[in-house]
């Protein structure tokens, strides 16, 4: 594939996170019910997972089902999404094993239906020995609730005398997040053109490169992921710093009267 040959193997991201958006609009544009959009969106997942595996991406995190989805969407749609999740796991575990993919989850997953939790556990155990891409599904997930849960764990340590409040650091919060086992995302992709992050990985994306595409999720394929990585490689990540010898020097060379902010 031409775009893959253009990628710099030395600058590949370790972790790509995706807000999979646009299933409903994809269906609406075709005069179909939203259920068909979700079904085709689930099929798109496997294209992205397999491409991630083939390029050796260590972590892929997909925003599959938010807390807001659970609370605000019609119950019939939520039930269909739960059925679709069970079906996806049942039908794709063998493909995950064939591609050396391990599956894990983040979110308040214990609040999901029992039969869904059992299928999730089965899929996680069935792929636990795989050493390639770790596919993490964010399910019943919210970034703010994740931070609340992490703070509660830190507060429990304070109450138990394990740490003093004045000694709490970012690392204490970080290791109590759902995502403590993975690197922070290098690249966050959102499909469907919406310019927001929708309560996804709020702590983790502090220095993540963000890319938005108008393409609707059911139409997203492996080549589009590769194109996003190609764009990512064209960017310079500064982590709050400046280019050496460029912007910092330019600012210092200006007279005080020209420093208008």
Q: What is the pLDDT of residues 59-94, one digit of tens each?
A: 999 999 998 776 678 889 999 999 999 999 999 999
Provide the residue ranges of all domains of the chain, joining segments of one domain with +: 11-144+183-258
pLDDT at 247: 44
| Nearest to 188, CA basis, from 208, 218, 214, 213 | 208
Position with higher pLDDT, 190 vs 4: 190
Task: Round to whole Å and give the CA distance between 49 and 101.
Answer: 8
Q: What is the CA angle 28-33-34, rounded to 5?
A: 75
Q: Which residues are catalytic?
A: 21, 69
DSSP single-letter state for residue 109: G
Specify the pTM: 0.89
pLDDT at 243: 64
Q: How confident is the model at residue 256 (pLDDT cuts 50, 70, 90)?
A: very low
Q: What is the CA angle 52-28-91, rounded to 5?
A: 40
Give the bridge partners for 63, in sequence order: 19, 138
Q: Which CATH superfamily is domain 11-144+183-258 in?
A: Decaprenyl diphosphate synthase-like (3.40.1180.10)
pLDDT at 182: 96
The answer for residues whose C-beta is within 8 angstroms of residue 25's C-beta and 6 or more apart is: 37, 192, 216
Q: At what angle do helices 114-127 and 75-98 cross, to 10 degrees?
A: 10
């Amino acid at each position: 594939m031409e775009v893959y040959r253009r990628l710099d193997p030395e600058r590949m991201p370790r972790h790509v996170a995706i807000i999979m958006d646009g299933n409903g609009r994809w269906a609406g544009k075709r005069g179909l019910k939203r259920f068909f959009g979700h079904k085709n969106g689930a099929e798109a997942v496997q294209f992205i997972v397999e491409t991630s595996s083939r390029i050796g991406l260590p972590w892929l995190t997909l925003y599959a089902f938010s807390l807001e989805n659970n609370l605000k969407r019609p119950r019939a749609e939520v039930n269909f999404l739960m059925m679709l999740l069970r079906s996806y796991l049942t039908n794709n575990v063998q493909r995950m094993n064939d591609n050396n993919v391990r599956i894990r989850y983040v979110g308040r997953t214990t609040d999901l239906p029992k039969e869904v939790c059992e299928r999730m556990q089965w899929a996680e155990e069935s792929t636990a020995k795989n050493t390639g891409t770790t596919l993490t599904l964010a399910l019943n997930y919210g970034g703010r609730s994740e931070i609340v849960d992490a703070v509660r764990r830190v507060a429990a340590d304070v109450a138990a005398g394990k740490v003093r409040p004045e000694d709490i650091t970012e690392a204490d919060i970080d290791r109590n997040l759902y995502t403590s086992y993975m690197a922070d995302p290098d690249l966050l992709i959102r499909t469907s053109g919406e310019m927001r992050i929708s309560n996804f990985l709020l702590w983790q994306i502090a220095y993540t490169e963000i890319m938005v595409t108008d393409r609707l999720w059911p139409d997203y394929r492996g080549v589009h992921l590769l194109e996003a990585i190609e764009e990512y490689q064209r960017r310079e990540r500064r982590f709050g710093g400046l280019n050496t010898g460029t912007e910092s020097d330019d600012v210092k060379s200006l007279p005080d009267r020209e420093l208008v902010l």
